[in-house]
Every structure is written in C-alpha cells, then in structure tokens.
Chains A and B, each alone.
Chain A
C-alpha cells in the first residue's frame, strides 16, 4: 500500500503543506529540526511523491521526448548518448520516442501531446518527413530541433555542412583526384529543392574547380545499399578516383565495394564521409570525415529547451554550428 503525504503529516504532527514544503525543499520558515524529522519519517514510512499527481497539478513532468527516426546508424546512437548525458545533468527523464508516423507519413501528434513530456527534442525533422510537426507546435508543446536538417517553425541547432563539404571536395582535388563523385541517397530532388548543404557544398566546389558533378545515387542512406550501388557503378565501367559520401555509413559501404573490386583506398579511390562516427577510426586506412560537434549541439539544444519551457513566448532561438573536417588516411595520397 502506498504511503500518502497525509500519513506522513499525521505521524510527524505537522500539516500536509509542511511535509510537502520540506520534501520539495521549498524555502519557507521551517526549523532545521522539523525538516530533519519530517524527512526521516517520510523515509522510514517509504513515502515517495506521486509524480503523476504532481504532473497533473503542475503541468510539468521533468521528462523530455527525443525523436529519432532512424536508430540504426551509430550517428544517432551518439546523439542519443549525449542527450542522455544532458538529461542526467539537468535532472530530466528522457523518453526515446520514435516519432509515430501514420500510414500517410504524417506524424501522430495526438499520441505525443497526450503523453506528458515537457518538450520535444527532434532530430533531423524534415528529413524524417514529419509533416505533423507543425500541428504539435500548434498545440503549444515546446520543440527544439537539431541536426543537419531543421525546421524554422521551432528553436533549432543546425549543423551547416555547406562550407566544409566544399572544403572536403577541394581537399580531394588538391591530393590529385580529378573525378570526384558524390554518393548520395535517392532523395536527390528533395535535396535539390531544399538546397541541401552537402549537395550545394559539393556543387560549389565542383563549379570552382571547373569539374562536372557526378552522382552515384543509392536507394537510401545505409551501408548495405551503398555497397551494392557503388559496386554496380564501378562494374559498369565508371572510374571516379574519389568519392565524397553523404554520411559515414555510406562511406563505409563504399569502402567495402571499392576494396571488393580490388581497388586500393586511397590510392585508386579516395574516400570522405560525413558525421564522424567512432567506426571511422577503425577502418584501415582511417576514414576522412566531416565530424559533427554532437556534444556541443546537445548542450546548446538543452539550453534552448530549458529557456523555452520557462518562457514559451520568447523569440525563436537559433544556433548554427560547423562540422570539423578530419583529414585521415582515406584521402591522403
């Protein structure tokens, strides 16, 4: 049987309000002795506050939802890890929520807003094609979105790949690559329409270098499909001497494909990925990549979130961070 606040108050010979204030560390005139006594009686009786009741009363749950659409990639694991660290640091619980997508591809926001979280941290929202996000904003749930893709309907922390992508392509040119292809998932039109920074960075550099863009378009952003597609592309007689890849997973897939064809990395084909997952350090040679400052991104996103929860009406908070170009063996000739 659950111990109630009233039972603790009765035993301690004080009012329920006093118990509540002591246990919530509210700063009112209660002597240290009484505080101590109430605390030890509550502990003895096994009292713990009912957080559901508290949430109903205060409208706050000290829990946030983290939306991640694709869990499989180690990049998202890294994001989860640093968000969890922030949750611990800030005294929140973190609910890992698949954004519930309905058949039509829209977000099942009713599920989300019915569940008591104080806010939503959304990762790569537009990429996750969640048209329902605007609805949830309409319902007034604080949202901070983060990643390579963000919506400006809510606070955001965005990684801007454009400049560094261009730098990466120029680096490939400088080490002697003359046919630099971009390995990209099959959302090319969407990337094109939305000025995808990686795509534009690639195109910027190719334009400056006077080279013709060349695309290897894969089914999705995973390793297995990248292997198949890159392998097909080379077997059809195409011979790019460098591959700039949309993410590390695709670069790792491309690495496999290239090596399976008997080509050497970086000598025959130089490789660059994006994101900076741990595994890039354990390929031989190590993979050059555009590393996202994930720890920093999460820190900023949580600052935004706490401010948004405190002041729902405040102006839009935005931050843009740059990835780091880590040059390693896969692009050093």
Chain B
C-alpha cells in the first residue's frame, strides 16, 4: 500500500504542505531539526512521491524525448551517451525513440502531446526527413535539434563542417594527391538542397584549387553500404590518391577495402573521415578525421532546451559550432601519436 503525504504529516505532527515543502526542498521556514525529522519519518514509512499525480498537477514530467534515426551507428551512440549524462545531471529522464510518424511521414503529434514530455531533442532531424516538424512546432512543445542538419525554424545547435572540410581537401592537395574524391551516400540532391557543409567545403576547396570534382556514391552512410560501390568504382576508374569521406563509418569501410586491394595507406591513398568517433583510433594507420565538438554540442543543447522549457516564449536560440581537422596516420606517413 502506498504511503501518502497525509500519513507522513500526521505521524510527524505537521501540516501536509510542510511535509511537501521539506521533501521537495522548497525554501520555507522550517527548522533543520524538523526537516531532518520529517525526512526520517518519510523514509521510515517508505513514502515516495507519486510521479503520475505530480505530473498531472504540475504539467511537468521532467522527461525529454530524444529522437534519432540510426542509433546503431557509433556517432549516434556517442551522442546519446553524452545527452543521457546531461539529462541525468539536470535531473531529467530521457525517452529514446524514433519520431512517431503517420502514413504520410508527418509526425504523430497526437501521440506526442498525449505523452507528457517536457521537451523534444532530435539529432540530424532533417536527415530523418520528417515533414511534420512544423506542425509539431505549432503544438508548441519545447524543441531543439542538434547535428549537421538542423531545421532552421526552431532552436538548434548545429555543427558547421565547411572550414574543416576545406582544410581537409587542402591537406590532401598538399600531400600531392592528384585526384581528390568525395565518398558520400547517393543523396546529392538532398545534400545540395540543405547545403550540407561537408559538400560545400569540398566543392569550395576543389574549385579554389582548380581541381575536377569527383564523387564516389555509396548505397547509404553505413559501413556495409560502402564496400561494394567503392570496390566497383575503383575497378572502373582506378583509385583516387585522396578520398574525403562523408563519415567515419564509411572511411573505416574504405580503409579495410583499400588495404585488401593491395594499396597502401597513406602512400597510395590518403583517407579522411568525418565525426571523430572512437573507432577511428583503432585502425592501422589511425584515421585522419574531422572532429565534431560532441561534448560541447550536447552540453549547449541541454542548456538551451532547459531554457526553452522554463521560458517557452524566449527568442529563437541558435548556436553554430565548428568542427576541426585532426591529422593522423591515414594521411601522413609515419605519423606518431603525441
């Protein structure tokens, strides 16, 4: 049987509101001894707050949904791990899921509103292609999107790869790479439409260097979807001396394949990934990659979302952070970790 606040109050000989305030750490004039006594009595009696009733009364549940499309990739799992730590530090629970979408691909906002969430965080939302986002914004749920792709009409913490991508291409050029290809999923229309900063950076640097753009398209952004298309491309066109990859997963696949084909990294092919996941440390040679400031992105995201929950009417909060190039052995021969 659940112990009620009333029973605790009766036992302690104080009012219900005093018990409530003490247990919620609200500031009220209650002597330290009384506080201590109430806490002890509550603990002895096995009192615990009824979260459901509290949520109904306050309209706040201290839970936030996190929507991510592909939680199996190491990048997303690292982001989820960091966001979960932030949530815990701020006293929130995190519900992890996909956006619940309807047949037409729009967000099922009825479901969203029915579940008492204080806010929604998404990673790379436009990549998940959810046309219903605007509608969910209409419902007024506090919302923030994080990542390489962000919906512009809501709060976001965005990572900008442009300058790092330019630097990556220039780095490949400085190593003497004649052909520098961009290995990317076959979503060029989407990338151009949203102004993907990796693509923009690649195109910009290539035109500055007066080089011919060369795309190698893969099935998707995952490791498994990379091997066969890249192998076919190398067979038909030979291997470019420099390859700038859309993400680390694809670069890790390319790394394995290139060596299997008897080519040396970096002597024959210099390779650069993107995101900076842990797995890049465990390749031979280690992968040169563009590192996202994941910790800072997640900490900032959480602060902004909490502010939005507290002040639903505050002005749009939009933060853009830059990624940076980390040079390692997959582009520089005999590179040694420092």
Chain A contact residues, CB within 8 Å of chain B: 48-53, 55-56, 61, 63, 71-72, 74, 77-78, 80-81, 84, 87-88, 93-98, 100, 110, 113-116, 223, 252, 255-256, 259, 278-279, 281-284
**For the complex of A and B, 3 pairs with smallest distance between CB atoms:** A77-B77, A71-B81, A114-B51
Secondary structure of the B contact surface, majority rule: helix
Question: In the assembled complex, how far is the CB of residue B101 from the closest CB belonging to chain A, in whole angstroms?
Answer: 11
Q: Which of B132-151 contact A (CB under 8 A)?
A: none
Q: Is B49 an interface residue (CB 8 A)?
A: yes
B22-48 interface mask toward A, CB cutoff 8 Å, 1 = contact, 0 = none? 000000000000000000000000001
Beta-carbon contact of B84 and A71 below 8 Å: yes
- Expressed in whole angstroms, the Cα–Cα distance for A100 and B62 within the complex equals 15
Q: Is B229 an interface residue (CB 8 A)?
A: no
Beta-carbon contact of A52 and B61 below 8 Å: yes
Beta-carbon contact of A255 and B282 below 8 Å: yes
Among B71, B78, B256, point to the contact of A284 (Cβ < 8 A): B256
Beta-carbon contact of A56 and B95 below 8 Å: no
- Expressed in whole angstroms, the Cα–Cα distance for A102 and B223 within the complex equals 39
Question: In the assembled complex, how far is the CB of residue B307 from the closest CB belonging to chain A, in whole angstroms?
Answer: 23
Note all chain A residues with C-beta closer than 8 A to B94: 95-97
- Expressed in whole angstroms, the Cα–Cα distance for A84 and B53 within the complex equals 27
Question: In the assembled complex, how far is the CB of residue A303 from the closest CB belonging to chain B, in whole angstroms?
Answer: 20
Beta-carbon contact of A84 and B52 below 8 Å: no
Supply 22 A–B pairs (Cβ within 8 Å), ascending by A: A51-B114, A56-B56, A72-B78, A78-B72, A80-B77, A84-B71, A88-B98, A95-B93, A95-B95, A96-B66, A97-B93, A100-B88, A110-B48, A114-B51, A115-B63, A116-B51, A116-B55, A223-B282, A252-B282, A278-B72, A284-B256, A284-B260
Beta-carbon contact of A284 and B53 below 8 Å: no
If A71-B77, A77-B72 touch, whether A51 touches B116 (CB-CB below 8 Å) is yes
Note all chain A residues with C-beta closer than 8 A to B98: 84, 88
Beta-carbon contact of B114 and A93 below 8 Å: no
B182-206 interface mask toward A, CB cutoff 8 Å, 1 = contact, 0 = none? 0000000000000000000000000
Closest residue of chain B to A78, judged by CB? Answer: B72
Closest residue of chain A to B77, judged by CB? Answer: A77
B86-107 interface mask toward A, CB cutoff 8 Å, 1 = contact, 0 = none? 0010000111111000000000
Among A77, A80, A284, point to the contact of B259 (Cβ < 8 A): A284
Note all chain A residues with C-beta closer than 8 A to B253: 282
- Expressed in whole angstroms, the Cα–Cα distance for A97 and B84 within the complex equals 8
Q: A51-B115, A95-B96 are in contact. List 9 more A-B contacts (CB 8 A).
A: A48-B110, A50-B114, A52-B55, A72-B81, A84-B97, A96-B66, A96-B95, A116-B51, A252-B282
- Expressed in whole angstroms, the Cα–Cα distance for A66 and B334 within the complex equals 45
Q: Is B153 an interface residue (CB 8 A)?
A: no
Question: In the assembled complex, how far is the CB of residue B23 from the closest CB belonging to chain A, in whole angstroms?
Answer: 10
- Expressed in whole angstroms, the Cα–Cα distance for A95 and B53 within the complex equals 19
Closest residue of chain B to A252, judged by CB? Answer: B282
- Expressed in whole angstroms, the Cα–Cα distance for A33 and B66 within the complex equals 39
Q: Is B233 an interface residue (CB 8 A)?
A: no
Note all chain B residues with C-beta closer than 8 A to A78: 72
Which interface residue of B95, B98, B253 has the most chain A CB atoms within 10 A? Answer: B95
Q: How large is the interface on B (under 10, 10 to 19, 20 to 34, 35 or more residues)?
A: 35 or more
Note all chain B residues with C-beta closer than 8 A to A53: 56
Beta-carbon contact of B51 and A93 below 8 Å: no
Question: In the assembled complex, how far is the CB of residue A113 from the closest CB belonging to chain B, in whole angstroms?
Answer: 6
- Expressed in whole angstroms, the Cα–Cα distance for A93 and B61 within the complex equals 14
Q: Is B297 an interface residue (CB 8 A)?
A: no
- Expressed in whole angstroms, the Cα–Cα distance for A140 and B244 within the complex equals 55
Closest residue of chain B to A80, judged by CB? Answer: B71
Closest residue of chain A to B337, judged by CB? Answer: A260
Q: Is B279 an interface residue (CB 8 A)?
A: yes
Beta-carbon contact of B110 and A279 below 8 Å: no
Note all chain A residues with C-beta closer than 8 A to B61: 52
Question: In the assembled complex, how far is the CB of residue B303 from the closest CB belonging to chain A, in whole angstroms?
Answer: 20
If A77-B72, A110-B48 touch, whether A96 touches B259 (CB-CB below 8 Å) is no
Q: Is B304 an interface residue (CB 8 A)?
A: no
Beta-carbon contact of A256 and B95 below 8 Å: no
Note all chain B residues with C-beta closer than 8 A to A61: 52
Among B71, B110, B114, point to the contact of A77 (Cβ < 8 A): B71
If A88-B97, A279-B279 touch, whether A52 touches B116 (CB-CB below 8 Å) is yes
Beta-carbon contact of B114 and A48 below 8 Å: yes
B220-253 interface mask toward A, CB cutoff 8 Å, 1 = contact, 0 = none? 0001000000000000000000000000000011
- Expressed in whole angstroms, the Cα–Cα distance for A66 and B66 within the complex equals 14
- Expressed in whole angstroms, the Cα–Cα distance for A84 and B67 within the complex equals 11
- Expressed in whole angstroms, the Cα–Cα distance for A282 and B74 within the complex equals 13
Q: Which of B259-286 contact A (CB under 8 A)?
A: 259-260, 278-279, 281-282, 284
If A282-B223, A282-B253 touch, whether A80 touches B52 (CB-CB below 8 Å) is no
Note all chain A residues with C-beta closer than 8 A to B209: none
Beta-carbon contact of A71 and B80 below 8 Å: yes
Note all chain B residues with C-beta closer than 8 A to A113: 48
- Expressed in whole angstroms, the Cα–Cα distance for A74 and B282 within the complex equals 14
- Expressed in whole angstroms, the Cα–Cα distance for A50 and B63 within the complex equals 16
Note all chain A residues with C-beta closer than 8 A to B78: 72
Question: In the assembled complex, how far is the CB of residue B57 from the closest CB belonging to chain A, in whole angstroms?
Answer: 9
- Expressed in whole angstroms, the Cα–Cα distance for A278 and B66 within the complex equals 23
- Expressed in whole angstroms, the Cα–Cα distance for A171 and B287 within the complex equals 33
Question: In the assembled complex, how far is the CB of residue A223 from the closest CB belonging to chain B, in whole angstroms?
Answer: 7
- Expressed in whole angstroms, the Cα–Cα distance for A92 and B66 within the complex equals 15
Q: Is B7 an interface residue (CB 8 A)?
A: no
